[in-house]
Amino acid sequence: MSSLFQSTADILSLVPSIRRGETPTISRCISLIENEQPGYLDLLQSLPGDNHANKTIGITGPPGAGKSTMIDRMLSLMVDERNKKIAVLCVDPSSPFHHGALLGDRIRMSRWFNDGRVYIRSLASRGNVGGLSPTVIEITDLLKAADFDYIMIETVGVGQTEVEIAGIADATTVVLTPGSGDDIQAMKSGLMEVADILVVNKSDYPGADLMVRNLSHAIMENGKKTPVLKTIASEGTGISELVEAIGEKLSEAQTGKSNALAEKAFQLIQKKRMVGISKKMLEQQVGEALQNGDFNLYRFVSQF
Scored b (16 or more CB within 10 A) or e, 231-247 reads bbbeebebbeebbebbe
Q: pLDDT for 87-134, tens place per residue?
A: 999 887 544 444 444 444 456 677 888 888 999 998 876 555 444 667
Residues 100 and 31 sit within 8 Å (Cβ to Cβ): no
Structural domains for the chain: 1-47 (no CATH), 51-265 (3.40.50.300), 276-302 (no CATH)
Q: pLDDT for 15-52, tens place per residue?
A: 999 999 999 999 999 999 988 888 898 999 998 876 55
**pLDDT at residue number 127:** 52
| Coil vs helix vs strand at 2 | coil
